[in-house]
Amino acid sequence: MTAKYFNPYTDFGFKKLFGEEASKDLLVDFLNQLLPPQHQIVELTFKNPEKSPATAQERKAIFDIYCQNAEGERFIVEMQKAKVNFFKDRSLFYSTFPIKEQAQAGGWNFRLMPVYFVAILDFIYDEQEEAAKFRRDVCLKDQDGDIFYDKLHFKFLQMPLFNKQADQLQTHFDKWVYFLKNLENFDHIPAILNEPIFQKGFEIAELSHLKPTQFDDYQKSLLDYWEVKNVKDTAFGEGLVQGEDIGIKKVAKSLKDKQLPTAFIIETTGLTAEDIEKL
């Protein structure tokens, strides 16, 4: 059956749905389901998603979506297609950029605005299945479990672990996750999602509404998505990713052989252009 709506896990679909001015209200509504009452968003401003390092020797970061609210709180929103080595380390590394950019010259008192890293994962990163959680809200706590620092937060959503059906949805957040996980497979708007915010999401995601150039871009993005998923899932399934970075290099080599853009391989694998050139 031909899909009616695009796949939101693709780079094109994710940024079309959440990363454009015209769809900013969708991003605000989604993020507000994850944020505490004191950090609810009224207005967002998109920021440059490419963050340069302080020196040429350091690695830069390219976020899927990077934005800031009117109070100065920063939000990184990532869609991760397939499992990679050191995902938690990567998340922490990315969070340092919106922290460092707040530094001010002169007599700055080191006061920081909150930073949120939100990751929508199309895989399960929990190594122990019995301890796997669909949603993890992480912040710095002390030995007694009391919050030590309330300005750095991580929100991880392991999408394969969300299995609720339409009649089991209880919250607006449930509806958002159900929408994202099943969007590509819908052939009409389900009654449970027939409300303005999701109606707009369906309208944006309808393939027939895309311009020819946009449809071509989506097809390329969809091909990239399946290439990455197939290669990485196979690599992990065969136990290739064990110790150091052997598995990641195998993935990068496969993507390079398929003539995918170097920038795409860098973002997907975390390797440098020099590493990829040597493969």
SS3 percent helix, strand, coil of the chain, rounded to 5, is: 45, 15, 35
Question: 253 pLDDT exceeds 90?
Answer: no
Predicted confidence at residue 266, as pLDDT, reads 74
pLDDT of residue 229: 73
**Residue 234: predicted pLDDT:** 57
The rounded distance, in Å, linking the Cα atoms of 275 and 24 is 36
Query: Which has more confidence, 259 or 24?
Result: 24
Q: Kindly report the number of other CB atoms within 10 A of residue 11's CB atom.
A: 20
- Cα gap 107→97, rounded to integer Å: 21
- What are 264-279's pLDDT values in tens digits? 677 667 677 788 888 8
Checking phi first, is residue 270 left (phi over 0); if not, alpha (psi -120 to 50) or beta?
Answer: left
Residue 127 has pLDDT above 80, yes or no: no
Q: Bigger pLDDT: 30 or 51?
A: 30
Distance between CA atoms of residues 250 and 246, nearest Å:
6
In angstroms, rounded to a whole number, what is the distance separating the alpha carbons of residues 215 and 83? 27
Burial (CB count <10 Å: 0-12, 13-18, 19+), residue 3 = middle
pLDDT at 41 over 50: yes
The pLDDT of residue 78 is above 80: yes
User: pLDDT for 190-222, tens place per residue?
Assistant: 999 999 999 999 999 999 999 999 999 999 999
Closest CA to 210 of 2, 1, 6: 6
Confidence band for 236, pLDDT divided at 50, 70 and 90: low
CB 210 within 8 A of CB 5: no
As a whole number of angstroms, the distance between CA 117 and CA 7 comes to 22
Question: Could you tell me the pLDDT band of residue 125, with boundaries at 50, 70 and 90?
Answer: confident
- For residues 39-48, average pLDDT: 91
Q: In this model, does residue 114 exceed pLDDT 60? A: yes
pLDDT at res. 53? 52
More confident residue, 18 or 259: 18
Q: For the chain, how big is the Rg over CA atoms in Å?
A: 19
The stretch 78-105 carries a mean pLDDT of 88
The Cα-based distances of 63 to 201, 226, 264 in angstroms read: 22, 20, 12
Q: What phi, psi does 200 have (nearest 5°)?
A: -65, -40
